[in-house]
Amino acid sequence: MALKKDKYNQIVREYDNRQLKNKHELDMRRKEVFEAVPELKQLEHDMISLSAQCGRLAVMGDSSSLDKLKTQSLDLQARQIELLVSNGYPADYLELRYHCDTCKDTGFVDGEKCNCYKQAVADLLYSDSNLKNILLHENFNYFSFQYYSDDYIDDVLGVSPLTNIQKIVAGCKSYIKNFDKNKDNLLFMGNTGVGKTFLCNCIAKELLDKGYTVIYLTAFRLFDILEKYKFGRDTESSIDASNQFSYILDCDLLIIDDLGTEMNNTFTTSQLYLIINERMLREKSTIISTNLSYEDINSKYGERIYSRVISKYSIRRIIGKDIRKIKAFNNI
């Protein structure tokens, strides 16, 4: 189902604004360097003139003269770069800069929606998740190992909380590096406050920066969307839910946070199986975080979901103390 007209127009306006902003910033850079290095202004004028001559010669079919003008044009470009660099500017200072280099801020590549366009739609549909603001502070730059103890060895894992989280973080970075090749799924398990959501957000930030589409939803929010999609009757919220449902299935990475905190019934179980299974068939990656144990997952969601998760997800159990309590106790 297509986006409603007002939301489609909102996205179109965003891309229009990006292009206008790019052009304005280039104009400001041109004004700056032309005042500082007047020869650059004359060079640009000469390059524009040559470009127009090349166009006329191409129409006339004069290939010999065209080749000479192209050589002159390359010489002018080289001189432009030389002047920029020698005066302390980057070589590409007089080129347009884009928010997305793939589509040049048009939203489309060869007639197909660019990943940045898909993410713009996802951001709009899931604006209440506030993910982008959260990621400003929850990313690998802010991740700290200081909250994980090295004073004891966990009986089950056979390592300390610190050694365990160091291995998990290294694995997350490998997951990001090989994301496009491996199509892996992750299951973060552990008690409340050990850093499961923070790690999910770290991964989301890195993949968003690489141009992948990422949707983060709490389990409660996910099943609310699925319920509206399933039982809605052509209301505005059901139309939104329909759009959201398609993105849940198709985004590059779906993060389901706090699985097990939702109201569990036959509907949520069947819908969770649908999401997990359909995304696996489409070779789309999913990350799930939960406080549940293996036994809890099996008893709460049944054998079909349990076997899918155990066999198709790389399981990372995070151990340690509640970081929120540590921060609160130490006024951090």
User: Which residue ranges make up each domain of the chain?
Assistant: 5-107, 126-329
At residue 295's C-alpha, the angle toward residues 217 and 198, to 5°, is 30
The percent of residues in the chain predicted with pLDDT above 70, rounded, is 89
Q: What is the rounded average pLDDT of the residues 168-173?
A: 97
Q: Is the pLDDT of residue 331 over 90?
A: no
Q: Which fold has domain 126-329?
A: Rossmann fold (3.40.50)
Contacts with 330 (C-beta within 8 Å, 6 or more apart), sequence order:
none
pLDDT level of residue 4 (50, 70, 90 thresholds):
low
* 3-class SS of residue 234: coil
Distance between CA 172 and CA 149 in Å, rounded?
20
pLDDT in tens, 108-159: 999 888 988 888 887 776 665 567 788 889 999 999 999 999 999 999 999 9
Please give the helix or strand (H or E) that residue 65 lies within, else none. helix 63-86
- Give the pLDDT of residue 89: 94
Q: How far is CA 119 from the centre of its chain?
A: 7
pLDDT level of residue 84 (50, 70, 90 thresholds):
very high
Contacts with 21 (C-beta within 8 Å, 6 or more apart), sequence order:
none
For the chain, the helix, strand and coil percentages under 3-state DSSP, each to the nearest 5: 65, 10, 30
Higher pLDDT, 280 or 241: 280
The answer to whether the beta carbons of residues 193 and 325 sit under 8 Å apart is yes
Angle between helices 266-281 and 236-250 (to 10 degrees): 40
- Give the pLDDT of residue 1: 43
Radius of gyration from C-alpha coordinates of the chain: 26
